[in-house]
A and B are shown apart, each in its own frame.
Chain A
Amino acid sequence: MVLELQRPRPIWQIMFSTHHTDIGLLYTIMSVAFLFMGGALALAIRVEMFAPGPQFIADSMTYNRIFTVHGTNMIFLFLLPFASAVGNYFVPIMVRYKDMAYPKLNAIAFWMIPPAAALIWLGFADFGWYAQPPYSMISAPSPAAEMWIFGLKILGVSSILGAINFIVTILKCKHPDLPLSKVPLLGWSFLSSSLIVLVAIPTFAAALLMLLTDRLGVTGFFNPALGGDPIAYSHLFWFTFHPEVYVLVIPAIGMMYEIIPRFSRKPIFSHSSGMFAFILLSIVSFASWAHHMFATGMSFTEKTVFMVGTLAAVPASAMHVFNFLATMWGGRAKYSAPMMWSVGGIALFFSAGAGGVVNTAMPLDFITHDSYWVVGHFHLFVFGTIAFGSFGFLYYMFPFITGRMYNELWGKVHFVLVLIGAVLVFFTQHILGLYGMPRRVFDYPPFPEWIAMNQIQAVGAVLLGVGMTIFLVNLIYSSAKGKEANMEDPFGLGGKYYYPYQAKNPHHD
């Protein structure tokens, strides 16, 4: 039996189901749909920025809305739900339990997302995904702003419900014969990220409520005219969202912990290092939030504290890189699509982290703050690391969900196009930032260097678009007409490998 049944079932049976594999499937389809919608917005941005002057977007308000929804969508409607998809499929199996701890709550957490997504997309707010006041309070138009606020409120609740489910499933529902230290690292990654969510998200929920009441004129939390401080919002926001970026990356690293050892045909170099690194990262992630605020007028001492907190998180990530490299050493690796994506993700993970270290060196923030360097930096993380790991894992899950194989050649073509495209776009953005180009700009003065680098990015973006289209076609076509997979060993790794989702596996009842 595969994760997903090969014989067709009525769609309403899947939609109303509370079983973890069905909910995993719903999360997968929804998140991938939003990936492509957000990607279309990104392509629009990069094509518009090809040259100075408007290309096809008529005014800056439309452009501002596009980058706001692009960012909001990608984080909350693609990355987070895709991680939930993987967690829903695998966490119960990895702890040898029959479902998640609270199946009905699981379904509710999922079904909260489409209405929230509708609010975000139909509202199409323009204040950037941070919603920074005072702009978001006094200047951003209604009803877009309120719809965004309500949409994110709902998503926050959904996240917390999901986190509770993962934590209880892993800690309380795991099989009595399975010690926590033997739970696979993918399971540990969900435990860590869920613990972060539980601690971090409520702060943002508070900030959203305060922003709403400020907009309504009832309060003045962030309004200097009423004695408030806009920087208070920044603290609340970043206290949530710096740890939140680790919530995004930790499951992707967990996914790589499934792929890289398996495709190298040997176990992970050090399971205990992986566990330790996840827990350490979860804790230290709370010590660095104000590095996003270095330009707001913080004192030297404050900035130093947060620089140290940021640097302290690097060794944990470095441990993961070491673990992956040491696992590959001495292996016999098959570079099917999942492996290519995971290994490519590791390479870009390093460059993303290195760029981050530059940002946190306090004086260098005067060069990089709110410039295209930052855009390149975070995209190397969310796209180069997390999306790469996610695509690799999606290819890996494919035979288990559908019973068929995707087209391997096109999977590799997808990888090559996207790797080249990502380098052209995101590495160039670092240099463009050094030349001083700000982010969130609809247009720019005709400096020759800025024009050249924007044009390189547009080419890269088109390559990304072509690669991702190939991916979409591969997924859809292969689901219907792909070759039937050998369910004993879909990837031809040989031998008897521990596929945790086979019915014959005694670990899953």
Chain B
Amino acid sequence: MKNIIGLFMVLSLLVILPTVEIVFAAGDEPEQYIDRRVEIWNLFFRMMTVAFVVGAVVSGTLIWLIWRFRESHPKATPTKYEGTSELDR
């Protein structure tokens, strides 16, 4: 858990630093115009990296939960709510 948070923080830093560099680098003189394709696609791929990492965590967790807590798992034990008259809401 702590590793994941650490990973996120490192990733965030790695993407913020190049951005800050670009901000101060762009100008109005010829040959210093920004290429919108580069800026936008870069942002897109950085976001895709984060989205897929988060997606892998979420779907990995979901798949593990489905596998581990299915009723046919060898270690499956009844929950403490089974046999009671009401799902405690």
Q: Do chains A and B touch in the complex (CB under 8 A)?
A: yes
Using CB atoms and an 8 Å cutoff, list the residues of chain A in contact with chain B: 182, 184, 261-262, 264-268, 271, 321, 325, 328-335, 343, 346-347, 350-351, 354, 357-358, 361, 363-364, 366-367, 494-498
Given A266-B81, A494-B82, are A354 and B54 also a contact pair (CB < 8 Å)?
Answer: yes
Q: What residues of chain B lie closer than 8 Å to A346, measured between beta carbons?
A: 62
User: Which of B36, B70, B77 gathers the greatest number of chain A CB atoms within 10 Å?
Assistant: B70
In B7-66, which residues have CB < 8 Å from any A CB?
Answer: 36, 39-41, 43-44, 47-48, 51, 54-55, 58-59, 61-62, 65-66
Q: How far is the CA of A358 from the CA of B39 in the complex (A)?
A: 15
Report whether A333 and B66 are in contact in the complex, using a CB–CB cutoff of 8 Å.
Answer: yes
Partner of B84 from A264, A343, A496 at Cβ < 8 Å: A496
Chain A residues whose C-beta falls within 8 Å of the C-beta of B47 in the assembled complex = 357-358, 361, 364
Instruction: Name the residue on B nearest A268 (C-beta).
Output: B89
Q: Are A364 and B55 in contact (CB under 8 A)?
A: no
Output the least CB separation between B64 and chain A (Å): 10
Q: Which 7 A-B pairs rank lowest in CB-CB distance, beginning with the nearest?
A: A266-B79, A328-B65, A495-B82, A267-B87, A354-B51, A363-B40, A498-B86
Complex-state Cα separation, A350 to B58, whole angstroms: 8
CB distance from A216 to the nearest CB of B (A): 43
B residues within 8 A CB of A358?
A: 44, 47-48, 51
Contact among B55, B77, B82, B87 for A261, CB-based, below 8 A: B87
Chain B positions within 8 Å of A266 at CB level: 79-81, 87
Given contacts A330-B79, A333-B71, contact A361 B66 (CB under 8 A): no
Contact A182 B89 (CB under 8 A): yes
CB-CB < 8 A to B80: which residues of A? 266
Which chain A residue lies CB-closest to B81?
A266
The answer to whether A333 touches B51, judged by C-beta atoms less than 8 angstroms apart, is no
Whole-angstrom CA separation of A357 from B70 in the bound complex: 32
Complex CA gap A333/B82 in Å reads: 12
> B6 an interface residue at 8 Å Cβ cutoff?
no
Nearest A residue to B59, CB-CB: A347
Interface centre among B41, B51, B69, B80 (most CB of A within 10 A): B69
Known: A266-B81, A354-B51. Contact between A367 and B59, CB under 8 A?
no
The answer to whether A271 and B89 touch (CB under 8 A), given A346-B62, A364-B47, is yes
Task: Please give, as numbers and ranges, the residues of chain A lying within 8 Å of B74 by CB-CB distance.
Answer: none
Q: How far is the CA of A347 from the CA of B80 in the complex (A)?
A: 27
Q: List 24 A-B contacts (CB under 8 A).
A: A184-B89, A265-B82, A266-B87, A267-B87, A267-B88, A329-B65, A330-B69, A332-B69, A332-B78, A333-B71, A343-B66, A350-B59, A354-B51, A354-B54, A357-B47, A361-B43, A361-B47, A364-B43, A366-B36, A366-B40, A367-B40, A367-B41, A495-B82, A497-B87
Whole-angstrom distance between the Cβ of A374 and the nearest chain B Cβ: 15
B52 (CB) vs chain A CBs: closest residue: A354
In the complex, how many angstroms separate the beta carbon of B89 from the nearest chain A beta carbon? 6
On whether the beta carbons of B70 and A333 are closer than 8 Å, the reply is yes
Smallest CB separation, A500 vs chain B (Å): 10
**How many angstroms between the C-alpha atoms of A460 and B40 in the bound complex?**
31
Let me know if A332 and B40 touch, CB within 8 A.
no
Contact (Cβ within 8 A) A325 B40: no
The CA of A332 and the CA of B81, in the complex, are separated in Å by: 11
Q: What chain B residues lie within 8 Å of A184 (beta carbons)?
A: 89
Shortest Cβ distance from residue B15 to the other chain A in the assembled complex, whole angstroms:
13
Q: Name A332's contact: one of B59, B62, B71 (CB within 8 Å).
A: B71
- State the Cβ distance, A431 to closest chain B Cβ, in Å: 11
Give the chain A neighbours of B70 by CB distance below 8 A.
333, 335
List the B side residues contacting A496 at CB < 8 Å: 83-86
Q: In the complex, what distance in Å separates the CA atom of A333 from the CA atom of B48? A: 33
User: Does any Cβ of A come within 8 Å of B76's Cβ?
Assistant: yes
Closest to B77 in A: A332
Q: Which residue of A lies closest to B85 (CB)?
A: A496
Residue among B36, B39, B69, B89 making CB contact with A267, cutoff 8 Å: B89
**Interchain nearest-CB distance for A508 vs B (Å):** 14
Q: A329-B69, A366-B40 are in contact. List 8 more A-B contacts (CB 8 A).
A: A265-B81, A267-B88, A329-B65, A330-B69, A332-B82, A335-B70, A354-B55, A496-B86
Smallest beta-carbon distance A93→chain B, Å: 14
Beyond A363-B40, A364-B44, A494-B82, is A333–B59 a contact (Cβ under 8 Å)? no
Name the A residues within 8 Å of B54 (CB-CB): 354
Chain B residues with CB below 8 A from A497, complex form: 87
| A363 and B43 within 8 A (CB) | yes
Q: Which residues of A contact B58 (CB under 8 A)?
A: 321, 350
Q: Which residue of A lies closest to B88 (CB)?
A: A267
Docked Cα-Cα span, A113 to B76, in Å, equals 48
Return the chain B residue nearest A181 by Cβ. B89
The one of A267, A329, A357 in contact with B51, judged by C-beta atoms closer than 8 angstroms, is: A357
Q: Which residues of B contact A321 (CB under 8 A)?
A: 58
Q: Nearest residue in A to B54 (C-beta to C-beta)? A: A354
Query: Could you tell me if A332 and B44 are in contact, using CB atoms closer than 8 angstroms?
Result: no
